[in-house]
Structure 1
Amino acid sequence: MTKIITEEIRLHQESPSDVFLFGTPKDRLDFYRREIHYETSLLSNRTNAYLTAQSFLVIAFASSMANLNPRWGELFTLVVPTLMAILGIFSSLHAWPGFRASYVIIDHWHFKQSHLLRSDPVMGEAYDDSPLFNEKESSQQGYRKSLMFSMRTPWLFVIFWALLAGFCIYVQLTNSSP
């Protein structure tokens, strides 16, 4: 049986319990701040894990470039470091969506927090009188600048790995014995 939606039935009707979900504007602000803190911690953990993996890959790359075996060293130093650089590029490209997702969620909660602080007269007064809150803390530029390291890191490593792969191939092909 199909149901016809008429103008009388709304897709989202606010019930009295929805209005009091948070209780007070301070409860809502606390909730937004906890969400921001959680997502920022998640982004920080992702960034730390990513940088750790990349640092181990750089060490392995450098070690493989130092191979001096006379029989298979030239082929090894051409193939293995190049494959590691390709792995570095792919891991960077796969890390980017996770970083971007955290950034979008943090941006969303900052928007909600900013809207609350500007729209609710009670929160607005507390916002203006309290030294704990200031415009720099809740402005878009402030938190976005603090997230730029995590947002740029994968792209910087993509460039880094591409340059290392090019260098590796160039060095091995120009120094190969005829």
Structure 2
Amino acid sequence: MPRIITPSTPEHEINERNARMFGSPKERLDFYRREIQYETSILANRTDAYLTAQSFLVIAFVSCMGNLNPGWGPSFTLMVAPFLALLGVLSSLNAWPGIHAAFKIIEHWQLKQSHLLRSEPMMGLAYDESPLFSEAETSRVGHRKSLLFSLRTPWIFLVFWIVLGSYSVYIQMA
């Protein structure tokens, strides 16, 4: 029968309920690590799909700008190149929310993992003595640095497409 935990509930009952509800600290750590790994693979897949799309857009843009047809080449380049740049801007803006959401979820699980390792002294000691793990893995700065490429890529391409689109219009009008 479920019980409501109140301030007068004995500590051993609360610990017992938590143990039944969450399992051992090792099970929680394993769960957090699986979630981090799952979300990291989602982030990697989103970044990979985004970069693939951007590479095809860059190829199309360069091919468009290289159009030397004397009859319709300049008008084609004036119309299609800015359109491709706009498509690149829109895809960058659409990629950002998904990439950022995956990052925030990874950050959440990393934080939970860090709290677990700090709140369970024995778990933290075993964790720190293991040669496979280090404090850099669980620090906020450490995992943020490893995810910066995925976070920065949409913004870098956004600026890239704005500059290229503006330049393509400028050179056609000048």
TM-score, L = length of structure 1: 0.86
Conserved? CA contact 2:74–2:172, under 8 Å: yes
Q: CA RMSD in A?
A: 1.9
Shift of 1:23: 2.1
The equivalent of 2:120 in structure 1 is 120
Q: What's the offset of the Cα at 1:60?
A: 0.4
> Which residue identity lines up with residue 173 of structure 1 in the other structure?
M
How much does 1:170 deviate?
A: 0.8
> Displacement, 1:45?
0.5
In percent, how many aligned pairs have the same letter?
61
Q: What is the Cα deviation at residue 75 of structure 1?
A: 0.8
- 1:27 aligns to 2:27 (yes or no): yes
> Structure 2: which amino acid aligns with 1:102?
A
**Structure-to-structure mapping, 1:72-111, within 5 angstroms:** 72-111=72-111
Aligned to 2:47: 47
C-alpha distance 128-70 of structure 1, shift in aligned 2 (>3 A): closer
Amino acid aligned to 2:70: P
Q: Which residue of 1 aligns with 2:9?
A: none
Indicate if the aligned counterparts of 2:26 and 2:123 stay in contact, CA closer than 8 A.
yes
2:150: which partner in 1?
150
Which AA in structure 2 matches 1:161? Answer: W
- After alignment, is 87-96 or 134-143 more displaced? 134-143
Runs (4 or more) in structure 1 with deviation over 2 Å come to: 14-19
Q: 1:54 to 1:137 in 2, by over 3 A?
A: same
The separation in 2 between residues aligned to 1:124 and 1:103, in whole angstroms, is: 25
Please name the residue that 1:162 is paired with.
Answer: 162
The separation in 2 between residues aligned to 1:17 and 1:41, in whole angstroms, is 33
Structure 2 residues not aligned, in runs of 5+: 7-13
How far apart are the structure 2 equivalents of 1:156 and 1:108? 25
| Cα separation, 1, equivalents of 2:70 and 2:141 | 56
Taking the aligned partners of 1:16 and 1:80, their CA distance within structure 2 comes to: 66
Unaligned runs of 5+ in 1: 1-7
Equivalences, count: 164
Q: For 1:135 and 1:67, locate their aligned partners in 2 and report how far apart those are by CA, in whole Å.
A: 54
